[in-house]
Structure 1
Amino acid sequence: MRMRFQEQLDALTDQLASMCHEAGQAITSATSALVLADLSAAERVFEINEQIEALRGPCEEQAMTLLALQAPVARDLRQVVTGVHLVADLSRMGGLAQHVAESVRRRHPNHVASGEAEQLLGRMGRLAGELADLAEQVLRTRDSELAAELDRRDDELDNLHRQLLDLIQDPAWTDSVTVAVDATLLGRFYERFGDHTVVVGRRVIFFVTGEQLAQ
């Protein structure tokens, strides 16, 4: 019985890692679309997000099956419940990538932003993709050091976000109000995406050890 439970739990973890991988692909494609004003790359994000949501159902079903048929307690129960929370986190990551793609589609054929603002957003997007890759590794390896690295790299993303806001609020800003609003929203989408990767790392460590990483 215990071996069967572990096999099912490993299958759930593998599905969660696949969701994370797709979320990374989505944010990377969304960033390419943003920087290049590439409509086809933006449309690809919608396709990827559909794949993420297609994985969500089986993940939730697997978790519910474990709860119903295995009646886990203590550590086993913690692992299954944490898996349910992870499904929601990973789905939100896909949704945030789609928000970026929606901005690109709405402004096409024009760029959403330009100059330094676009450069900062591009850097944020590339870093968000790297964070998703790290989060996937944490899911697959359950490595606490990698989870801590997510925190550190997310600090870099937060710093870029502050630079973007400072740029937009600078009296020397010469772009339109529309661009300022779009850039502000995009910065927030990337910042929230990074936050979710950190939460994924923390949940995985709790999943494995029962310990909460320091905030």
Structure 2
Amino acid sequence: MSQTGPYWSGLLLGDLAGMIRLANKALGEATAALLDAADDAAEKATAAEKALHELREEIEDDASAVLPDASPTADPRAIVVGVHVGTDVECLAALTRQMVELAWARQSRQPLPPRLRLPLRGMGNLARTMVGQAGDVLEATEYETIADLLGGMHEMAQRQRLLYEQMLSEACQATPDDIADATLLSCCYERCASHAVSMARHAALFVGSRPTG
């Protein structure tokens, strides 16, 4: 059956939103593996691996959907959004992979100190919220969400600064490895937030002016 422009565009955006949801799930599982109680860290790292595998399969399944299967009447804006958002989702997958590898590497070590886990958890929750909001822009045409995301970047920077203040304080008892891992994790969260903003901005090229009928 031939695909009309509106049908294909709506299908594409729905697929992209689904990939964003999967990316957010994988991000959450990786965060749990790194920051939750150590007694089930291996189980949570395995769950993160599974979520990441689901995301990678979805990315591979949809990799050719943007151009080869597009209807000749497909809205060019949807193609632009598809390429940009697809690239951002791939970056989210790569960042989550870094986090999962870090979770496995820390299996033989003590959990990160509470002084570091608390601000990191805040950064992780914020990153997940922002990625979820990016999906909302695609699914629910929520323009105001983009402004919220820009505010989220400012909050992320503040949280990262507070983390660094904790690490550099004399009261911090973290090992050099802990400090290196916490810094890497904070960078992953900051970059996830940045990709969330990017996805929402590119989605705004199409959201609100989708063809109807």
Question: Residues 152 and 111 from structure 1, CA distance in 2 versus in 1: closer, same or farther, beyond 3 angstroms?
Answer: farther
1:58 counterpart residue number: 61
Q: Which amino acid letter does the alignment assign opposite residue 155 of structure 2? A: E
How far apart, CA to CA, are the structure 2 residues paired with 1:48 and 1:88?
18
Q: Which amino acid letter does the alignment assign opposite residue 166 of structure 1? A: E
2:24 counterpart residue number: 24
1:101 counterpart residue number: 100
Greater share of residues in helix: 1
How far apart, CA to CA, are the structure 2 residues paired with 1:4 and 1:48?
33
1:8 counterpart residue number: 8
Q: Which amino acid letter does the alignment assign opposite residue 81 of structure 1? A: V
Checking the alignment, whether the CA contact within 8 Å between 1:104 and 1:111 is kept in structure 2 is no
Checking the alignment, whether the CA contact within 8 Å between 1:131 and 1:150 is kept in structure 2 is yes
Percent identity of equivalent pairs: 24
1:167 counterpart residue number: 166
How far apart, CA to CA, are the structure 1 residues paired with 2:72 and 2:111?
50
How far apart, CA to CA, are the structure 2 residues paired with 1:155 and 1:34?
24
**1:53-72 deviation digits (Å, cap 9, x = unpaired):** 222233332211355x5165
How far apart, CA to CA, are the structure 1 residues paired with 2:49 and 2:206?
30
Q: Which amino acid letter does the alignment assign opposite residue 33 of structure 1? A: A
How far apart, CA to CA, are the structure 1 residues paired with 2:73 and 2:6?
13
Name which of structure 1's ranges 51-60 and 135-144 shifts more when overlaid on structure 2: 51-60
TM-superposed CA distance for 1:109, in Å, is 4.0
1:150 counterpart residue number: 149
How far apart, CA to CA, are the structure 2 residues paired with 1:142 and 1:45?
30
What TM-score do you get using the length of structure 2 for normalisation?
0.87
Checking the alignment, whether the CA contact within 8 Å between 2:137 and 2:200 is kept in structure 1 is yes
Checking the alignment, whether the CA contact within 8 Å between 1:142 and 1:204 is kept in structure 2 is no
Checking the alignment, whether the CA contact within 8 Å between 2:138 and 2:207 is kept in structure 1 is no
CA RMSD of aligned residues (A): 2.1
TM-superposed CA distance for 1:25, in Å, is 0.8
Checking the alignment, whether the CA contact within 8 Å between 1:20 and 1:90 is kept in structure 2 is yes
Tell me, yes or no, if structure 1 residue 48 matches structure 2 residue 51. Answer: yes
- Where structure 1 has 5 or more consecutive residues not aligned to the other structure, the ranges are 211-215
How far apart, CA to CA, are the structure 2 residues paired with 1:172 and 1:65?
57
TM-superposed CA distance for 1:45, in Å, is 1.6
Q: Which amino acid letter does the alignment assign opposite residue 192 of structure 2? A: F
Q: Which amino acid letter does the alignment assign opposite residue 64 of structure 1? A: L
2:195 counterpart residue number: 196
